[in-house]
Amino acid sequence: MKTVVGVAWYSPGAWAELRSLAPDRDQLESTYEEWLSVFEKALADLRAAGLRPQRVAIEIGPFSAWCEAQGRRPDGAARAEYAAVELQRIHESRSDRGDA
């Protein structure tokens, strides 16, 4: 069985919000379209490495609240960790309902 990894997915609106608050915005792609291209390549690279990437839709409000509760800045490391935490929450929720 392939290892599942959570990959942060942003809607165009969430991407704009993220760019406005991210302390590392200078390292982010300038447009949603550029980000989407990088995202799709990252998914392909993860699959090629034998992993099973799963998109995790990130809503900026809950992400910001999580960062504040964790004492974290909303940087790349926090975004990656949050995607992993959300993926685990999603899977646990499915297991609790018997959907796993």
Question: pLDDT tens-digit profile of 14-44?
Answer: 999 999 999 999 999 999 999 999 999 999 9
pLDDT band at 96 (very low <50, low <70, confident <90, very high): low
Q: Which residue has the higher pLDDT, 69 or 1?
A: 69
Looking at the 3D structure of the chain, how many domains does it have? Answer: 1
Q: Look up residue 61 and give its two tokens.
A: 């409000």
pLDDT over 90, % of the chain: 84
Give Cα 14 to chain centroid, integer Å.
11
SS3 70: helix
Q: Identify the domain containing residue 8 by its residue range.
A: 4-97
What band does 94 get if pLDDT is binned at 50, 70 and 90?
confident
Helix (H) or strand (E) holding 47, with range, is helix 32-48
Across 70-82, average pLDDT: 96
Mind listing the pLDDT tens digit for each residue in 1-13?
Answer: 789 999 999 999 9
- Work out the mean pLDDT of the chain and round it to a whole number: 92
The pLDDT assigned to 99 comes to 57
